[in-house]
Chain A
Amino acid sequence: MDFKFTPEQDKFRQEIRDFVKKELPPGFETGVGGHVETDEEWKVARAMTKKLAEKGWLNIGWPREYGGQDNHMFSVILNEEMNYLCAPGLDFGGVGMLAPALMKHGNEEQKKEHLGRIARGEVVWCQGWSEPEAGSDLPNLKTRAVEDGDYYVINGQKVWTSLAHHADWCFLLAKTNPDAQPKHRGITFILVDFKTPGITIRPLVTMAKERSFSEVFYDNVRVPKKNVVGEVNGGFKVAMTAAGFERSGIYRIALALRNVDRMIEWSKKPQPGGYVPAKDPVVRQKLANIYIEGRISRMLAYRVAWLQSQGLEPEWEASVARVFGSEFQQHSAEVGSQIMGLRGMLMKGSKWADEDCNMALQAMLGIGATIAAGTSEVQRNAIALRGLELPRG
């Protein structure tokens, strides 16, 4: 057991902080996972991506043969710092999901066409997986890909597609064999150029008023067969590789960690009327507890990262980290509401809102945390069935 980072890792962490201080406009902040809302903010985000690419940081976790530095821990640290500082620019979809899938399952032509551009931050990818009838039950997806000569014709609807309204390309899961049993054996992983005619994007507005996802409608979209990654009907395996590259989930909890630190600072300030939250024994208890929870979340995430950096494949460990971390995100907002009282309802920028401590947004984001990318219920199922080997129902 050793809980310290190496001097190189500490140095890298500081370099990231210096980089963000230098390159990001002061006061600029993203939502969870680098979400930005306005077109102006998007420009800043794209510029940051390019700068990260120039520094060789964007794909630092990739194998050396593909231009990375084979440094998984560095990429996790980068993820943590960028998200703690609410700085945009990291590319979870392209760099973190599609690229590893191409490296393992793609052919040479696909790797040549796409990996370089992803590494240089030149292209925006989105993930077309979930559907109205296929959330937790992803194999139940209905978007069809039907052969037509050298093409697949795609019809259907995706939902929760992050970054769709900015995306250049999409890595899509479509059903090529609706009769396959089990269902996941009829799914194909295919790359879709978003300039292809027939694609309609409708942004969804979350309860946090963020247009972070979209519905995407595919109406006779013709995609070349050469864009299939891996085997036809073998797409689920490719998807698992995509989802398995970065499993620490640290980026999700980093913002909550930041908010806990901000709550601690906020609580030290005397409020109008003289009350100092930090001197209230009840507040002290709640803050201490959420701080501890945050530290454990971080440890569980780094444990997953460490296992991956050893070349191991964490399964239930990742689910444990995920459940704990996402619930920490929610609890942090609950503590925020409790200790901030009425002030807890104010949105950032409102008159009377604190400059730094904005728990109202965290509260809304926390609702999504236990649902996105594998609900807490599904994660617990995985822990029970795969981690503890309990029998299937």
Chain B
Amino acid sequence: MDFGFTQEQEMLRTSARDFLTTECPPELVKELAEDEKGYKPEMWAKMAELGWQGLAIPEQYDGMGMTFLDLSVLLEEMGRAVCPGPFFSTVVLAGFAILEAGSEAQKKEYLSKIAGGKAIATLAITEPSASYDAAAITVEAKADGDNYIINGTKLFVDNASNADFMVVAARTRQGKKAEDGITLFVIDGKAPGITTTPLNTIAGTKECEVTFDEVKVSKDSVLGEVDRGWPVIDRVLEKAAAAKCAEMVGGMQAALDMSVAYAKERVQFGKPIGSFQAIQHHCANMLIDVEGSRFITYQAAWKLSEGMEATMEVSMAKAWVSEAYRRVARLGHQIHGGIGFCMDHNMPLYFKHSKEAESLFGTADWHREKVAQELGL
């Protein structure tokens, strides 16, 4: 048992925090929420120089060959800074899909582009039904000679508006089970027939609607095996859920730190409000939630990092952290009082982050049902 981080992970954390403090301050985060692109290409390039996009990509594809656990430490810091942009969609969603299912040629092409910061990418799974179940995949890919023709609508596709390429889950066959007959394709983000419309989300994250109208893609764009895409999606969604939890833990810690700092300086009734027991107990409750969330998250990340079966641990983490972040954000606001309610304050960044994160890659209820299944209920 070891509840600490390695020296390398601590160094990664420190350097990430320093970088983000300078390059991604809250003022920029607020600006980018209103910005069409939602990220700064200069920051993206600097991250690539630091090796961030390629952190968990194997060295033979120009990555740094570090682990999922290491990436979780980085994501925690990005969550702390509420760093907007296509990092998560490119590195976690598209990146792990290609790593999981790509041919050698595909990995060489796409992963090295990702590692070099040369491509922005995403994963298109969910549709208007807004469900992560296999049965929810209805976008069709019809075989047509050497090609497939894709039709349908995907919804909540992260950073599709910025994507150079997308990994798209489409149905190639009606199987006996919903899980059968799903195929993954790697498609040019601007291919003819694709229309991308950013949605207006609470945190300004570039979740998009992507419509496919007779989009023609060659057979070479199949990622993995035809009709056998679901197990890949399942594993990528597990990694995504765990990775999102790491981000959320970072956000929770920031909300806690901010609230404690405010409680020490805000004076009312002649005393700092942090000297009142009600506020002290709010802060204690926030810390308890951060600590519990941290370890349930890192347990999942550790298992994934070690290549172990982690379905139970991932669902436990996402179910718990989804609600813990909500609690922490609410208490953070309670401690900040009126001022925290204003647009130009930083606390709303965390509240909004928690709102989006809680349902990404499965809500608490959805994951609790998974836990129930794992328990044999």
Q: Which residues of B contact A323 (CB under 8 A)?
A: 284, 288
Q: Which residue from chain A places its CB closest to the CB of B295 in the assembled complex? A: A299
Q: Which 7 A-B pairs have the closest CB atoms?
A: A384-B280, A288-B368, A284-B372, A288-B371, A380-B284, A383-B284, A390-B274
Of the candidate stretches B1-9, B57-65, B181-189, the one touching chain A is B1-9
How far apart are the CA atoms of A387 and B281 in the complex, in Å?
12
Bitwise, B358-377 to A at CB < 8 A (1) or not (0) is 00000001001101100111
Q: Is the CB of A300 within 8 A of B291?
A: yes
Describe A's contact surface by its main secondary structure.
helix
Bitwise, A353-393 to B at CB < 8 A (1) or not (0) is 00000000000000000000000010111011101111111
13 pairs, CB–CB < 8 Å, chain A vs chain B:
A3-B298, A3-B302, A73-B1, A264-B375, A288-B319, A288-B369, A320-B287, A324-B291, A380-B284, A383-B284, A388-B280, A390-B260, A390-B274
Q: Which residue from chain A places its CB closest to the CB of B73 in the assembled complex? A: A1
Q: Is the CB of B368 within 8 A of A303?
A: no
Q: Is the CB of A393 within 8 A of B276?
A: yes
Q: Which residue from chain A places its CB closest to the CB of B372 in the assembled complex? A: A284
Q: Is the CB of A292 within 8 A of B301?
A: no
Q: Which residue from chain A places its CB closest to the CB of B367 in the assembled complex? A: A288
Q: Is the CB of B260 within 8 A of A1?
A: no
Q: Is the CB of A285 within 8 A of B288?
A: no
Q: Which residue from chain A places its CB closest to the CB of B286 in the assembled complex? A: A388
Q: Is the CB of B288 within 8 A of A324?
A: yes
Q: Which residues of A contact B3 (CB under 8 A)?
A: 1, 302-303, 306-307
Q: Is the CB of B283 within 8 A of A1?
A: no
Given contacts A385-B280, A393-B276, 14 further A-B contacts (CB under 8 A): A3-B1, A3-B298, A264-B375, A267-B377, A268-B376, A278-B377, A288-B319, A288-B369, A291-B316, A302-B3, A303-B3, A316-B287, A317-B291, A323-B284
Q: Is the CB of A289 within 8 A of B295?
A: no
Q: Is the CB of B319 within 8 A of A388?
A: no
Q: Which residues of A contact B369 (CB under 8 A)?
A: 281, 284-285, 288
- Please provide the chain A residues from 312 to 361 with a CB less than 8 Å away from any CB of chain B in the complex: 316-317, 320, 323-324
Q: Is the CB of B301 within 8 A of A1?
A: yes
Bitwise, B92-133 to A at CB < 8 A (1) or not (0) is 000000000000000000000000000000000000000000
Q: Which residue from chain A places its CB closest to the CB of B324 in the assembled complex? A: A296
B296 in the interface, Cβ–Cβ < 8 Å?
A: yes
Q: Is the CB of A1 within 8 A of B284?
A: no
How far apart are the CA atoms of A142 and B277 in the complex, in Å?
27
Q: Which residues of A come within 8 Å of B, CB atoms?
A: 1-5, 73, 264, 267-268, 278-279, 281, 283-285, 287-289, 291-293, 295-296, 299-300, 302-303, 306-307, 316-317, 320, 323-324, 377, 379-381, 383-385, 387-393
> How many Å from the CB of B140 to the closest CB on chain A?
31
Bitwise, B305-321 to A at CB < 8 A (1) or not (0) is 00000000000100110
Number of contacts between A and B (CB, 8 Å)? 140
Describe B's contact surface by its main secondary structure.
helix
B170 in the interface, Cβ–Cβ < 8 Å?
A: no
> How many Å from the CB of A10 to the closest CB on chain B?
12
Residue in contact with B319 in the complex, picked from A292, A381, A389, CB distance below 8 Å: A292
B232 in the interface, Cβ–Cβ < 8 Å?
A: no
Q: Is the CB of A303 within 8 A of B377?
A: no
Q: Is the CB of B280 within 8 A of A380?
A: yes
Given the known interface contacts A287-B372, A296-B320, the answer about A384 and B2 at a Cβ–Cβ threshold of 8 Å is no
How far apart are the CA atoms of A375 and B292 in the complex, in Å?
20
Q: Which residues of A contact B1 (CB under 8 A)?
A: 2-5, 73, 302, 306
Residue in contact with B283 in the complex, picked from A288, A289, A377, A384, CB distance below 8 Å: A384
How far apart are the CA atoms of A293 and B364 in the complex, in Å?
13
Query: Interface centre among A292, A300, A316, A385, by most B CB within 10 Å?
Result: A292
Q: Which residue from chain B places its CB closest to the CB of A267 in the assembled complex? A: B377
How far apart are the CA atoms of A380 and B291 in the complex, in Å?
14
How far apart are the CA atoms of A3 and B301 in the complex, in Å?
10
Q: Which residues of B contact A306 (CB under 8 A)?
A: 1-3
